[in-house]
Amino acid sequence: MIDLYLFSKSSKILAFFSKIRKSKSFSIVIYNPDKYKAILRNTGQNTFVYIDISSFDDSNRKKLINYITKQTRFDFGIIDPKNSIDDPGLLFHLGCSDYIGKSAITGEVKPARIKNAVGFYFIEPDEPDEDDLIQIPAFEDIQTILSGHNWDNIKTGREYTFCLFYIEIDILPEWANKSGKAHIEEVMEFFYAHLHKIITPLNGKLWIKTDFGGLVLFPFDGSCTPVIIEGMKLIMNKIITSAEEYTYSTILTYRIALDIGNTKYLTRGNTGKIISDSVNFIFHFGKKYADTGNFYLTERVHKDIPLGLTDRFLPSECFENRSIYRMKLPLLK
């Protein structure tokens, strides 16, 4: 599978790539072009980048071209819907693998073109070692060591930045006092089956199980927007989940806490000796702070909430000196 990053906010360009978005040969992630620096500074050689330059003014376009042609970590193509580049041929001398001008943007791009662009240059893969891991201070108190958007480059025993997603069924502590162990185990089976369905498409892994839930790790590639959306869906769809994932004819809700943090990655079951402030924090945050049926996130996650959804989260009381936001809840009858 070919990993593509597409930087564009033009619906025409997104439509142009719709065949690629549906294709099983490509994994495509779409980003806002304005954020290209933040995303690209840690992008590796397994990713091919297309960037639509139409949303930049002359000055910023030059900066972008300068930036992207100087880096050697990944191959890239330029999308120029307004034919604003005078000499596209020059781009190829500077390392560009594809140029899609105005006249080429009709209908849908053919997968063969993208494959040709990806194979245009060949970058000798380097064996990554400890020193190659890019450590850039992106947050106030942690260094980001991007783990990518899947598990391909994550090695056991090394430290990475992950989206840490804590989730628990609310009602179980109460049920545990009233019903037998077998019943609780049955509920947890339903829970893990449901959780698996939710996290698998986002490359999440249930890492540490707790009595009534668990901690999920999502690889972090600079954004946890998809995880935020999925968390919101879990809260919004509680009636649907209670009806279809469980068999108890009652509303079951989850408490969810989300943060970004660093931890050494060890396989599940071997996590007992992990020393990580981030892991400690997410457990405290989820167990001690998060209230029933709600979704909480830290300030460093808050920046990834899509603009249209920021008003769905309200500032909440600080916890362990960190700013916290909670989701507004859909009303139930």
Partner 1 sequence: MQLSRNLVNLCARALIESMDVRDMKHLAKRIIPDYDLYKQSGFPESFAIPSIDAAKQIVGDIINHHLFFQFVQNLIHMNQEGFMGNKFKIAYLNDIIKDIYSNGYLFDSENQIFVENPKVQKTRNWGALQEGESYTMAFLSIDIIGNTKIVQKYSRSIVQTTYTELNYIVHNAIDKRNGRFWMWEGDGGVIAFFFGKKNEDATLSAMEILNNLYLYNKTICNLSEPLKVRIVVHSGVCEYTEQNSYFKKMEVMKTLGEMEKKHSKPESICISYPVRMMLDGFIADQFVSLGSNSTSKYYRYELEWGK
DSSP-derived secondary structure letter, 131: G
Residue 250 is a binding residue for partner 1 (CB under 8 A): yes
Q: Judged by CB under 8 A, which of 46, 55, 153, 242 binds partner 1?
A: 242
- The amino acid sitting at 131 is D
Q: What is the nearest approach in angstroms of partner 1 to the Cβ of residue 232?
A: 7
Q: What is the nearest approach in angstroms of partner 1 to the Cβ of residue 81?
A: 12
In terms of CB distance, is 177 or 250 closer to partner 1? 250
- Contacts of residue 8, defined as CB under 8 A and 6 or more positions apart, other chains included, come to 14, 30, 33, 50, 51, 52, 54, 55, 79
Question: How many CA atoms are closer than 13 Å to the CA of 311, on its beta-carbon side?
Answer: 1
Residue 196 is a binding residue for partner 1 (CB under 8 A): no
For 79: left if phi > 0, alpha if psi spans -120 to 50, otherwise beta; the answer is beta
Q: Judged by CB under 8 A, which of 90, 94, 136, 239 binds partner 1?
A: 239
Number of neighbours of residue 181 by Cβ within 10 angstroms: 8
Question: Rounded to an integer, what distance in angstroms lies between the CA atom of residue 3 and that of residue 28?
Answer: 6
- Are the C-beta atoms of residues 108 and 83 closer than 8 Å to each other? no
In terms of CB distance, is 275 or 331 closer to partner 1? 331
- Are the C-beta atoms of residues 281 and 261 closer than 8 Å to each other? yes
Q: Give the range of 63-71, 111-119, 260-268, 323-331 binding partner 1 by CB under 8 A.
A: 323-331
User: Measured on CA atoms in the order 220, 225, 229, 231, is the torsion positive or negative?
Assistant: positive
Q: What is the nearest approach in angstroms of partner 1 to the Cβ of residue 257?
A: 19
Long-range Cβ pairs for the range 82-91 (8 Å, 24+): 82/54, 84/53, 84/54, 84/58, 85/53, 91/65
Q: Give the range of 39-47, 64-72, 246-254, 284-292 binding partner 1 by CB under 8 A.
A: 246-254
Q: What is the nearest approach in angstroms of partner 1 to the Cβ of residue 138?
A: 23
Q: How many residues bind partner 1 (CB under 8 A)?
A: 29
Q: Judged by CB under 8 A, which of 176, 229, 266, 274 binds partner 1?
A: 229
Q: Which residues pair with 322 in a beta bridge?
A: 319
Task: Name which of residues 261 to 320 contact partner 1 (CB under 8 A).
Answer: 306, 308-309, 312, 314
Question: Rounded to an integer, what distance in angstroms lies between the CA atom of residue 213 and that of residue 188?
Answer: 8
Residue 244 is a binding residue for partner 1 (CB under 8 A): yes
In terms of CB distance, is 1 or 239 closer to partner 1? 239
Residue 11 is a binding residue for partner 1 (CB under 8 A): yes
In terms of CB distance, is 21 or 183 closer to partner 1? 21
Residue 333 is a binding residue for partner 1 (CB under 8 A): yes
Binding residues for partner 1 (CB under 8 A): 11-12, 14-15, 18, 229, 232-233, 236-237, 239-240, 242-244, 249-251, 306, 308-309, 312, 314, 328-333
